[in-house]
Amino acid sequence: MYANSSGIDTRVAVVIPAYKVSRQIVKVVKELPAEIDFIIVVDDECPEKSAEALKNGNCKRQVKVIRHQKNLGVGGAMKTGYRAAMELGAQIVVKVDGDDQMDSSLIPNLLKPLLLGHADYSKGNRFYSLHLVRSMPKLRLFGNVVLSFMSKLSTGNYHIFDPNNGFTAVNSEALALIDFDGVDNRYFFESDMLYQISATGLRAVDVPTPAIYKDEVSNLKVGHSIFYFLNRHIRNTIKRITLMYFIRDFSVATLQLVMGVILGIWGSSLGVSTWLYNMNHGNASEPGTIILVAILCITSLQLLLSFINYDISLNRRDKM
């Protein structure tokens, strides 16, 4: 057990989604801190039978193994693990991948902000320093940077980087508030969790955690994942903004957003249609039209930037 800020023991569970990690799973379980109360391995219909490898690997740790009859993806495996951890009475649940890319000795660092009551959800950040970044494969680094920027707008957690880092810890109170039916079953799971944390008014923090890269083969393809994630980030952005600025509240920022979008569409439509008309008829654009389009577009940009600035400052206030 780990003690919280009041000195009260807190039960901690580790959930490990297992898929094609038969070579690493035993080592991952063995290296977990002795203070962990529950270890849950979810075999997501692994073709390598990772759960059997754990059973045959002479691992002396007490482990609860759950086997899926159908592959659900990392998100589906974690939902199963979270529910099992809550049934066991865990007050904090840590996610550790089974591929041995995470240093389990850093689990206390993930737990600290939750134990102190400073956050409800903590996650690893592999981009905390240049030293950590240099150890990451360049293609994976590029993909994570792109996805991180997309995630900021869709989750509202502008202070969070590396959103797809699966090294996380969450308290049971947060898990009870999360709508798991709305959380993606596959690789968008971590981003959806950040969205859910933000939508429920909970606090998320980054914790520096270097990753360990060996000879493992990732099942996530960077090129495909950017397009896979794009429409889901757009969906969550629309949902978050609608919830925060039109349902829960209506403020000056709402008017800035609405007017910025309207003026932007008006200005760009007028500019494109006028340019096409003049191109087809061989006419020069009227100075007055050019000035009007410029005013509309510049005003739209200023309003949208003001909205984003307000959104960032609101997020910072919520996290203090």
pLDDT of residue 138: 72
Instruction: Look up tokens 């096409």; give the residue.
Output: 276
Q: Round to whole Å and give the CA distance between 15 and 65.
A: 10
In CATH, the number for domain 2-245 is: 3.90.550.10
Residue 163, both tokens: 């959103």
pLDDT of residue 281: 87
pLDDT of residue 320: 40
User: How many other C-beta atoms are found inside a 10 Å radius of the C-beta of residue 263?
Assistant: 20
Q: Break the chain into its structural domains and give their ranges.
A: 2-245, 250-318
pLDDT per residue rounded down to tens, the chain (320 residues): 898 877 889 999 999 999 999 999 999 999 999 999 999 999 999 999 888 888 776 777 899 999 999 999 999 999 999 999 999 999 999 999 999 989 999 999 999 999 999 999 999 998 877 666 666 667 667 777 777 888 999 999 998 888 888 999 999 999 999 999 999 999 899 999 999 998 888 999 999 987 666 655 555 555 566 778 888 999 999 999 999 999 998 999 999 999 999 999 999 999 999 999 998 988 888 899 999 999 999 999 999 999 999 999 887 644 44
What are the φ and ψ backbone dihedral angles of 116, each rounded to 5 degrees?
A: -80, -10
pLDDT of residue 245: 95
pLDDT of residue 5: 77
Entry pTM: 0.86
Residue 116, both tokens: 């102190």
pLDDT of residue 317: 47
Q: Round to whole Å and give the CA distance between 97 and 166.
A: 7
pLDDT of residue 111: 97
pLDDT of residue 109: 95
pLDDT of residue 105: 94
List beta partners, residue 52.
none
pLDDT of residue 126: 83
Phi-psi region of 252 (alpha: psi -120 to 50; beta: other; left: phi over 0): alpha
Half-sphere exposure in the Cβ direction for 13 (13 Å, CA): 26
Element (H, E) at 208: strand 204-208
For 160, 258, 266, 288, 303, the CA distances from 269, given in Å and listed in that order, are 35, 17, 5, 16, 18
